[in-house]
Amino acid sequence: MTYELNAFILQIVILLSYIPITFIAYKGLREPEKRRRAKWELSRFGPDLAKDFEGESTYSLADYIIPVTYIFIVLAALYGMTQPAIIRLHFWDGLLESTVNVFGIPGSPPPLEVAVVTGRFMFWCWLGAYIQSVDRTIRHYLTHDLSPNVYVFAARRFIMAFVVGAIVGLGVGSLAKAAGVPFEQNLTMAYVVAFSIGLFPDRGIRWIVATANKVMREKSPSEEESLTIINGISDWQQDRLDQEGISNVQNLATVNLLAVVARTPFDVSQMVDWVDQAILITEASPEQLAAIRKVGLHCASNFIGALDNSLKNLSAASGLSENELHLLGVSLKSATNIELIFRYHKIANNAPVK
């Protein structure tokens, strides 16, 4: 048993070494460049505003201690739940399924061996989440964006992937067993499902919700406006915005624009465009938004410009009444961030800022 424990410790040290390596390298090599980049991006709103937010782009050493420790503990603990030697020490009694022979192990296996099989199928979920975590951490490092939140969200994603993978994998295993699928084929199928959910836990969550709604005969709950309706936002960018607490269009429309520009790797013009779109989507009704988009207007600033240019022409082109357009314009002009957006465009076009 001593050999197995030593092997486990060595594996943990090797597998999780990317955490301290990326953190140390980022603080020494990448963070100074991040500071320079943030200063330049913020200057595009004017020097008077930039100086107040330059400190948002960097973090102290103390800011990293808890997130780095947290992810290391979480990943090590979850990895231990997948290792037979650790499971046989009864460390995880009650956490791993050991009473129900989900995968149809031949004979009458003791509870501990059932737990070992459960742990081994969960290893593939851990591996999928691990690959995703390493890939995203390196991507954050290369884009000068390895904030403490990266480690916190990676740990959260591991926990979510583990829980969702366990539920879906055990569900698939039970259905396959009921269908008469032999043990080895059943377990192999569970490995593939667990690995896939480790990489993409959101897919597993959608499967669970759809299955639960079907069983309980409930309709799917309505969702808030997703960031996917914003033109130009990819899954990776959506995840990065989520780290800043921006999970829907309403959050994006009212975000502290200067602070987010300083903290994220996105170009200021890109961030301004996203917020500009979000303001229009938030303030306009679905019918108004559809009519406005038909005339080629996708941002609040574009709409306000067209409105100020000719209310009558905009009404004729969109099919909306002049009063309706006027009221929407008043709402947009009072929206959070709209003044900053116009300020940015004026500076970009070399116009004087009032």
Domain spans of the chain, in order of start: 2-216, 227-348
pLDDT at res. 349:
84
Max avg pLDDT among 33-47, 94-108, 176-190, 271-285: 271-285
Listed range (5-14, 35-44, 312-321) with the worst mean pLDDT: 35-44
Listed range (118-127, 160-169, 333-342) with the worst mean pLDDT: 160-169
State whether residue 327 is helix, strand or coil.
helix
| Helix/strand/coil percent split, the chain, to 5 | 75, 0, 25
Residue 238 has pLDDT above 50, yes or no: yes
Residue 273 has pLDDT above 90, yes or no: yes
Region 120-136 average pLDDT: 93
pLDDT at res. 250:
94
Contact status, residue 264 vs residue 145, Cβ threshold 8 Å = yes
Q: How confident is the model at residue 345 (pLDDT cuts 50, 70, 90)?
A: very high
pLDDT at res. 70:
96
Question: Tokens representing 347?
Answer: 């500076």
Tens digits of residue pLDDT in 6-15: 899 999 999 9
Region 222-241 average pLDDT: 82
Q: Is the sign of the CA dihedral 78, 81, 83, 86 positive or negative?
A: positive
pTM of full prediction above 0.85: no
pLDDT at res. 151:
95
Residue 354 has pLDDT above 60, yes or no: no
Contact status, residue 149 vs residue 64, Cβ threshold 8 Å = no
Q: How confident is the model at residue 5 (pLDDT cuts 50, 70, 90)?
A: confident
Closest CA to 138 of 6, 7, 23: 23
Identity of the residue numbered 197: I
Contact status, residue 249 vs residue 293, Cβ threshold 8 Å = no
Question: Tokens representing 191?
Answer: 């490995």
Question: Tokens representing 185?
Answer: 């084929």
Tens digits of residue pLDDT in 258-272: 999 999 999 999 999
pLDDT at res. 219:
58
